[in-house]
Chain A
Amino acid sequence: MYRSAARRILPAVCRRAGHFRSKASPVRFSAPIIHPAAFSAAAASENARNHKPNNFEASKISSSSSSSSNEGRKPRVTDRPKAHWQEEQARVLQASLRHVPDYSKNDLLIGWDRLLNFIGQISLGWSDAAMIAGAREVGVSPSIVGSFPRKEAALVEFFMDDCLQRLIDIIDLKEDLTNLIPSNRVAKLVRIRLEMQAPYISKWPQALSIQAQPSNIATSFKQRAMLVDEIWHAAGDESTDIDWYVKRTVLGGIYSTTEIYMLTDTSPDFRDTWAFLDERVREAFDLKRRCKR
């Protein structure tokens, strides 16, 4: 019902043809919430979000400080007086993320009036305009945006670290991964991670292009490497030889291709993307089995 009504109202106000697909996407946002299998993931991610200001420090590569209560895995150097401005930057980035996508997924469930309010709002994308809006929301002067070394890239990298942290939290909470065969485990983890990007999917091509810029490519490569390593680790990989590199490279390739496939997927709940993902993972495991012989 939402979809047909949205399709009738939204084309009248959206300015670019490219928006059509993105306007339809809010309807999918309800899926991650009500879909039973993903429900716990969403709930867990909500919990992780609430701990955000503390957990952020763990994943931010450049920071070397911590706040008092956090559950990050990586060891940190405590340096309390200096932690302050980095926390503020984190809060600004967190608030900016809310201005990136077209709609917040929760609002569509709440009601028509909220939906109509949001029609007027123009999505800011991964830009310093979103960061300025985020800074204003947090109550800090928007000048702080100038202090981020590579502005939009800082926002994208923050999001990537945020998603990685949420994935780690989900892995810690879920025990049923051991019931699955390795290929399903890997596929499920990749799916969980890609679902986190679903709300931003209309602006994700912009994020990818930011990550591909020469000045940002080193950090984005490192983040993806960490992500892939984490997924294999959670899937129970214990290889110590050339296999370690091969597995991560192959998974990196699968992840990237699935991510790009997802950009043009218009099926409900990204069904086609998951089918594509399962195919690729199965192929990769078949290839591995064939090579072993």
Chain B
Amino acid sequence: MALRSIYRGLKKNNLLSPLCNSCSHLHSHSTSFGYKEVREEEKSQMVGNVFTSVASSYDLMNDLMSGGLHRLWKERLVSKLNPFPGMKHLDVAGGTGDVAFRILESINNVGRRAMRDIHDDNVLDETQIFVCDINPNMLNVGKKRAQERGFGDNKSLVWVEGDAEALKFEDGSMDGYTIAFGIRNVTHIEKALAEAHRVLKRGGRFLCLELSHVELPIFKDLYDYYSFSVIPALGELVAGDRESYQYLVESVRRFPSQEKFAKMIAEAGFDKVEYENLVGGVVAIHSGLKF
């Protein structure tokens, strides 16, 4: 309800043009929430509301919107990460645990076990995957899914409630940091990147999976049509919440382009910053190395 009134109010004034598409150019007190301009303090509250309301049907909606492709994207992310036994990994905004489960399964994989030596079995117990999310509802859904998959008692999986901009982990304590479809919801992306840089060890990797910009001519139009017409309608039908999914597609458009985001990652102190486009740019995996 609050969303609708803000939306109507801002629409009347039509404050900022959509051309200004980077958070860093905005006035210090306001930020983007989809195509709307909102005060910074409000953004995290509003994002919180969005995810509280979508938490229960989050996974179903993901499957419907991406046609099941999101699973492949997450597989690609984990294979790029190349997890190893004894790894300390942090998955931020990983509420429902998709990426964390995949990492755990990859480490415990039987095929890998055949190739290991004796030392690795002791080291396996040191593996720790932290799943951090700002929204407790998403974490609860994740814990339930962990139970269903048999990871309920697994000591390697640790669920932590926390803010990506102010992580409660020590400096240089993580081998890997992933954030899948979460960074565009963060109010200050630079802060989140700086925190990522802080908690990573030397040689640690930063990986970000995010919906990104499509430049291919005809495909771009198809994608736009799909995003603005089909997705909010799906949201209304399945989750009963059109506004949240409208926010989703708008926030994707407002997010910096692949090159710009890569620059931001490099500015945060990462080396060897690269990105890989999947499905022509619908999704991009950015990676960086910390030294």
What is the distance, in angstroms, from B260's C-beta to the closest C-beta of chain A?
20
The interface bits of chain A over 121-149 (1 if a CB of B lies within 8 angstroms of the residue's CB, else 0) are: 01010011100100100011111111100
Look across to chain A and name the residue whose beta carbon is closest to the beta carbon of B82: A146
Question: Is there an interface contact between A141 and B291, defined as CB atoms closer than 8 Å?
Answer: no
Pairwise interchain contact A85-B202, C-beta atoms closer than 8 A: no
Residues of A within 8 A of B175 (CB): 141-143
Q: For residue A147, which residue of chain B has the nearest CB?
A: B289
B204 within 8 A of A: yes
The answer to whether B117 touches A143 (Cβ under 8 A) is no
- Given contacts A84-B271, A151-B82, whether A146 and B205 have CB atoms under 8 Å apart is yes
Q: Which residues of B contact A92 (CB under 8 A)?
A: 203
Mostly, the B contact residues are strand
A143 to B199, CA, bound (A): 14
Closest to A144 in B: B203
In the assembled complex, the Cα of A82 lies from the Cα of B289 at a distance in Å of 12
Question: Interface 1/0s, chain A 102-129, versus B by CB < 8 A?
Answer: 0000000000000000000010100111
Instruction: Name A's interface SS.
Output: helix
Chain A residues near B272: list those with CB within 8 A.
Answer: 85, 147
> Which residues on the B side are within 8 Å of A140 (C-beta)?
201-203
What distance in Å separates the Cβ of B44 from its nearest Cβ neighbour in chain A?
29
Query: Does the CB pair B82–A122 fall under 8 Å?
Result: no
- Tell me whether B115 is interfacial, beta carbon within 8 Å: yes
Does A269 sit at the interface, judged by CB under 8 A? Answer: no
Q: Which of B116, B204, B271 contacts A143 (CB under 8 A)?
A: B204
Q: Does A88 contact B (CB under 8 A)?
A: yes
Q: Quick check: A88 and B82 within 8 Å, CB to CB?
A: no
Q: Is B80 an interface residue (CB 8 A)?
A: yes
Residue B104 at the A interface, CB < 8 A?
Answer: no
B61 within 8 A of A: no
Residues in B neighbouring A143, C-beta threshold 8 A? 81-82, 84, 87, 175-176, 201, 203-205
B135 interface residue (CB < 8 Å to A): no
Q: Is the CB of B84 within 8 A of A145?
A: yes
Interface size class of A (residues with CB under 8 A): 20 to 34
Pick the contact of B202 from A132, A141, A145 — CB < 8 Å? A141
CA distance A127 to B117 in the complex (A): 12
Is B287 positioned at the interface, with any CB of A under 8 Å from its CB?
yes
Q: For the complex, give the distance between the alpha carbons of A88 and B80 in Å.
A: 19
Max chain B Cβ within 10 angstroms of own Cβ: one of A129, A144, A151: A144
The reply to whether the CB of B118 lies closer than 8 angstroms to some CB of chain A is yes
Minimum CB distance partner of A142 in chain B: B84
**Smallest distance from the beta carbon of B74 to chain A beta carbons, Å?**
15
Interface residues of B in 101-142 (CB under 8 A from A): 115-118
Q: Is the CB of A128 within 8 A of B82?
A: yes
Contact of B203 among A122, A127, A135 (CB under 8 A): A135
By a CB distance below 8 angstroms, the chain B residues around A127 are 115
Could you tell me the distance between the alpha carbons of A146 and B175 in the complex, rounded to whole angstroms?
11
Which B residues, 129 to 164, have Cβ-Cβ distances below 8 Å to chain A? none
Q: Which residues of A contact B118 (CB under 8 A)?
A: 122
Q: Who on chain A is nearest to B88 by CB?
A: A141
Among residues of A, the one whose C-beta sits closest to the C-beta of B205 is A143
A142 and B174 alpha carbons, distance in the complex (Å) = 11
Q: Mask for B182-193, Cβ within 8 A of A = 1, else 0?
A: 000000000000
Which of A82, A124, A146 lies in contact with B81, CB distance below 8 A?
A: A146
Give A128 to B118 CA distance when docked, in angstroms: 16
- Contact A88:B203 (CB < 8 A) given known A124-B117, A146-B80: yes
Instruction: Judge whether B84 and A132 touch: CB under 8 Å.
Output: yes
Which residues 223-265 of B sit at the A interface, judged by CB distance below 8 A? none
For A228-265 the 0/1 string (1 means CB < 8 A from B) is 00000000000000000000000000000000000000
B289 and A144 contact, CB distance less than 8 A: yes
Q: Tell me the bound Cα distance from A82 to B291 in angstroms.
A: 11
A-chain residues with CB within 8 Å of residue B201 when the two chains form the complex: 140-141, 143
* Chain A hits for B200, CB < 8 A: 141
Once bound together, how far apart are the Cα atoms of A140 and B118, in whole Å? 21
In the complex where A85-B272, A122-B117, A127-B115 touch, is A142 in contact with B80 (Cβ < 8 A)? Answer: no
Given contacts A143-B84, A143-B201, 20 further A-B contacts (CB under 8 A): A82-B271, A85-B271, A85-B272, A85-B289, A85-B291, A88-B291, A124-B117, A128-B82, A128-B84, A135-B203, A140-B202, A142-B87, A142-B175, A143-B81, A144-B204, A146-B80, A146-B81, A146-B176, A146-B205, A147-B287
Enumerate chain A interface residues (CB-CB to B < 8 A).
82, 84-85, 88, 92, 122, 124, 127-129, 132, 135, 139-147, 151
List, sorted by A's number, 10 A–B pairs whose CB atoms are closer than 8 Å: A88-B203, A92-B203, A122-B117, A140-B203, A141-B200, A141-B203, A143-B87, A146-B80, A147-B205, A151-B82
